[in-house]
Amino acid sequence: MADERPNPTNSKVGRLIESHGLNGLGEELENRWTADEDADSLRTLADVFNHELLKAEATDAGLDLLDGEVATFYDALVDDEATGAERTRVRGRLERAGIDVDKLQTDFVSHQAIHTYLTSYRGASKERKRSDPKERVQRLRGRLVAVTESALESAVNRDDIVVGSPDVLVDVQVFCADCGSQYGFDELVERGGCDCQ
């Protein structure tokens, strides 16, 4: 007997995809979640979905929002850090276009709703692949370098610090309290462990 999944429109996400004509979005969410490299988290996918929902509502109301505006409007509606003035401005603009903002906010989906939709209604699964620890640490090093460079640039621009031509270096060391050995992470992995072995 063939695997029979429930009708996707029985889920909140599926109903909203159908009612707003968001054709292809379900497949996009599935592909982004199950990607081998750089897969998106469920929280990111919930934001992607909610951005598309907001954009569709705005378009239907004749309000053309640029991609940056969609993100700004969404953040103003859901982000606790948004100021009252931002929230009021965005609500006002949407309401003037005829959008029921309270209903829209109720329609926004959670990461759990995305997970249920992808697994129960689309049959997607996220296989956990064993990743190379050196690759994972190297990616984190790259992120740390980028964040540090950005923070340095901001501090220099605000005249908080003066620095010539900085190069950011990230060195990950592992110290074993049992044997007293210390190795760089890559070296430790290549040699298969510390001096305890």
**What ranges do the domains of the chain cover?**
6-120, 131-189
Cα(19)–Cα(106) distance, integer angstroms: 15
Three-class DSSP labels, 64-130: CCCHHHHHHHHHHHHCCCCCHHHHHHHHHHHHHCCCCHHHHHHHCCCHHHHHHHHHHHCCCCCCCCC
* Tens-digit pLDDT profile for residues 131-148: 677 887 888 888 888 888
pLDDT at 158 over 60: yes
Closest among 107, 58, 57, 41 to 78, alpha carbons compared: 107
Above 70 in pLDDT, residue 3? no
What pLDDT, on the 0 to 100 scale, is given for residue 189? Answer: 84
pLDDT at 1: 42
Is the separation of the CB atoms in 16 and 53 below 8 Å?
yes
**Is residue 173 predicted with pLDDT exceeding 70?**
yes
Per-residue pLDDT tens over the stretch 48-90: 999 999 999 999 999 988 878 999 999 999 999 999 999 999 9
What are residue 65's phi and psi, to 5 degrees?
Answer: -105, 135
**Confidence (pTM):** 0.63
| Euclidean distance between CA atoms 65 and 80, whole angstroms | 22
Tell me how far apart the alpha carbons of residues 42 and 111 are, in angstroms, rounded to a whole number.
5
